[in-house]
């Protein structure tokens, strides 16, 4: 792990100076606050927009605070993931393509250290982002719908964070393995097509990393088997470690692709 601290410092500086620590959490905060606000003010919004026929009445479902958190997670799962993956997918492949990696790869660094330094910084950005997202969602939910159970919140936050670690590992692994365009396609396919498949035919299985995002809340509601939750968690962590391992190997193998 030679050079890990130095590379970590470099990655943090990059993330900080390119405003990733600000704008990605901001996107998540906006996504987090959108569901409690839009749901609560839906009738007012419809009235304000106009074109509502006279006598029109809409029966709004009575939402519980946990439903709003679940809805926010749904937002993170689409736009949030899209933003996050798009900003991380070139982390290794772009550095190789533009030659920035050359001056690092020619030094006696450990590829494991370099890969992990990127992983740690991205995980930190993700942590701050979902903290902002959950924070915004919880704040408005509490104000508008009532208090949330802290335990449920912590479980859903942690579970969702583990899912995000898997997403980062997949994204970085693809970035280490392919050129940016192919890496983007592959990473998006694995994560989003995986989600779609899980949504369409996921009824046939109960253990899957792609289910983890919703399992945090579901666990608290008691709508899933505990063993399914734990197995999904273990498999996701195992796959994350495997992706990191493959990523490090591929980063080393593709070092010669760096532009000189």
Q: Is 180 in the site for other proteins (CB under 8 A)?
A: no
Pick between residue 108 and residue 222 the one whose CB is nearest to other proteins: 108
Contacting residue, 64, 120, 152, 255, with other proteins by CB under 8 A: 255
The pair of structure tokens assigned to 137 is 């969602």
How far is the C-alpha of 189 from the C-alpha of 180, rounded, in Å?
A: 14
Which of 237, 252 has the CB closer to other proteins? 252
**Which CB sits closer to other proteins, 6 or 199?**
6
Stretch near other proteins under the rule CB under 8 A, chosen from 6-14, 31-39, 51-59, 73-81: 6-14
Residues in contact with other proteins, shown as a per-residue x/- string from 71 to 100 under the rule CB under 8 A: ---------------------------xxx
Q: Is 147 in the site for other proteins (CB under 8 A)?
A: no
What three-state secondary structure class fits 178? coil
Residue with Cβ nearer other proteins (12 or 231): 12
Cβ pair 103, 247 in contact under 8 A: no
Distance CA 197, CA 208 (A): 11
Contact between 1 and other proteins per CB under 8 A: no
Does residue number 102 form part of the binding site for other proteins (CB under 8 A)?
yes
Q: Is 260 in the site for other proteins (CB under 8 A)?
A: yes
- DSSP per-residue letters across 50-117: --PPTT---------HHHHHHHHHHHIIIIIHHHHHHHHTTTTHHHHHHTTTHHHHTSS--HHHHHHH
Q: Which is nearer to other proteins, 12 or 161 (CB)?
A: 12
Q: CA 222, CA 205: separation in Å to the nearest integer?
A: 18
What is the footprint of other proteins within residues 17-36 (CB under 8 A)? 17-18
* C-alpha angle 184-71-196 in degrees, rounded to nearest 5: 40
């Amino acid at each position: 792990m030679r050079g890990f601290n130095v590379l970590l410092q470099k990655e943090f500086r990059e993330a900080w100076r390119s405003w990733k620590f600000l704008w990605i959490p901001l996107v998540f905060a906006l996504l987090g606050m959108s569901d409690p606000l839009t749901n609560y003010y839906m009738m007012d919004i419809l009235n304000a927009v106009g074109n509502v026929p006279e006598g029109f009445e809409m029966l709004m479902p009575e939402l519980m605070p946990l439903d709003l958190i679940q809805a926010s997670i749904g937002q993170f799962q689409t736009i949030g993931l899209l933003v996050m993956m798009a900003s991380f997918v070139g982390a290794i492949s772009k550095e190789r393509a533009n030659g920035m990696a050359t001056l690092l790869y020619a030094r006696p660094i450990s590829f494991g250290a370099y890969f992990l330094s990127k992983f740690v910084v991205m995980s930190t950005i993700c942590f701050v982002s979902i903290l902002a997202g959950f924070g915004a969602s919880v704040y408005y939910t509490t104000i508008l719908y009532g208090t949330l159970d802290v335990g449920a919140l912590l479980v859903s936050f942690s579970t969702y964070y583990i899912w995000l670690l898997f997403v980062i590992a997949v994204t970085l692994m693809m970035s280490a393995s392919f050129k940016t365009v192919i890496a983007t396609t592959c990473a998006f396919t694995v994560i989003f097509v995986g989600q779609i498949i899980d949504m369409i035919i996921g009824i046939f299985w109960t253990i899957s990393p792609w289910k983890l995002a919703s399992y945090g809340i579901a666990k608290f509601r008691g709508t899933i088997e505990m063993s399914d939750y734990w197995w999904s968690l273990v498999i996701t962590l195992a796959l994350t470690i495997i992706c990191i391992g493959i990523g490090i190997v591929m980063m080393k193998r593709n070092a010669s692709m760096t532009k000189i």
